Structure 1
């Protein structure tokens, strides 16, 4: 029979062993999470936390945990070794403590050792089998929960004395890990294609899916120079006209400049407001704008596509590293990276040659060069900063042209008359000589004819 003090010690050893088993499970869960979470996951989470509606206290606390998690991921190899070392040490201590506690019951030495080893192996197996192998979102939650402890425990690792450059050289970074996974997936798809299990179009789409992670939002966005936007003082009636001419149904609304973003105006909101109340057409766009979805230009396209699906948004404004508007991206832009160019029944790709009109003007494709325009009208435009008819019209307007846009420059009258493509970019421009230019030419011609007639009369008089 054990005395009271011995019994208390035995119970205490068993309680410590249970705590070490719990610690082993935590280390196994963290080890699994570290191998799954990537830097892009944490960067996107940081952006979400900074723009959510939580209190300032909760936001700062979450950001601090994300910082710890980023530090852990930055030293992924060292963090993994820390978790593995902690888990193994916990399992060894569990076996030793259970063996010591069992020895208090006058058990043979060989049985005491056998029980200790068996409990250590059992606890190691439990830690491996019960550790989560769940979704990436669950792994992020686990890492955020235990990252502060792991980042501090990393300083106690035996690798602490290693040279930092050597440690980084052996570090398995997330980009390298993802690259290996992509190469393996590409090899698998190539084997399936060689087996002729899929046709050429499906095979190309499967390859495109693997490139989404490597493609950034800034590579597929509409740059701000080509982005069509309206000022917040624009009336609803004017937006109806502009949307009819441009073909867009979602338009960014700005204030004093493009960077002064007010929101996104939806054509269906304008129709809803004015359909049964014509007087509402005099209201400004500022009264109906919606909160815009903002995304960083460095966001991978696969994450962008997932976020737009989750938030049920078809358009987002792209923000550069300085907080300015870099461009606009739609869910169709992301989808086109998989299935290719999307066109509807209204889209027409125009490759016509310049056509002369009855009034003497020319109907030319928007990409017609300045040199060709100079030859058509026998003028010298002297434009060094633009190369096409579209660029000439854009420069004269000072903004992105849409169908119906009209401007005069260098004695020419330019009108955008047609658009093509899903982005409704102007495709055809009609160019004529400006009316004042024609009058000037006629006046100069008349004056020159009169001068020649006068000179001829004087010569005749002198001959006489």
Structure 2
């Protein structure tokens, strides 16, 4: 194999790789919430580059399209050159070599450089964006003059032909501000403002943020008896329970309480009862799935519950249609639900907070300018665990930004209650 052939193969592979990076970057970067990236800027150097990239989305899009087209054209040229080299080296007819090159390159570009990167980026936009942040920033800087020139040309075209280029979707901050103004002027009510805020957050929330965690799942072993199933349903108060084989990481189905009714009337059926025969299929969803996509899946498949799995395929949690809807309309209480207050105000500056309280809820009671960052945790309990190397015991205390946190109740290795005390100086700022 001659040197020229090897160089062409390496360059062509590089072009396909960069084409995939540009394609995936388009999906990943435009799936990010710029507001969240800005909040996390100080927590990682990649967020700094992501913030710069997302600052001018039109220029970024032009840069990605230019970069993608450049490497695709380069791949086509290298592919033709490679076909001619192979034809000469191995005495193959040029037309056959070129036809084979076009076929292979087309399939490679579609599947390896377009579809695969976009699917990966769609499933894990934040991870993908973190990996490509610096390469994309370098490409953005290098192609900036060209992208800016094309942007200016497009602006002139829109101006010349009086095309409407000013209409754009409201950003999250703008929508919140409009809702706040409406509340202050009396045009909308408090509960309407809360729903608008919930809708704004809804698009960017993932299943992991709203699911019932693994430890809270009530599930049945596939070998249990009919009596044990009925008792578990009565005790839990749920009409649907997951069924597992061996351990909870092997969930095989879902049992519905209404499917047990025929066994109560027929003694013969009752003697032959098998949970594996009664259970229904269950769907599995990844932690990273957006709840807006999950809602569509629930609607399409006419189901109300899914099992959440982690990156290793283990059971991570459980999510229901009710969990998804509550992200918009707030807590849905029925006559059997016991209302649990997540945050109880003790006095002016002290609160008893449940360990399962979301970071968003906690931030709402903190003074202006004091924000608990959202990182690899969603709850107050997770935040406290991130502040210590060992599992904290009862009365464990620490201070974060003039806010005192004290663990007051622990149950089975879970932080149940936390006393949050806001110092006077912080509260008055």
TM-score of Structure 1 vs Structure 2, range by shorter chain: 0.3 to 0.5
**Scaled by the length of structure 1, what TM-score is found?**
0.41
**Scaled by the length of structure 2, what TM-score is found?**
0.44
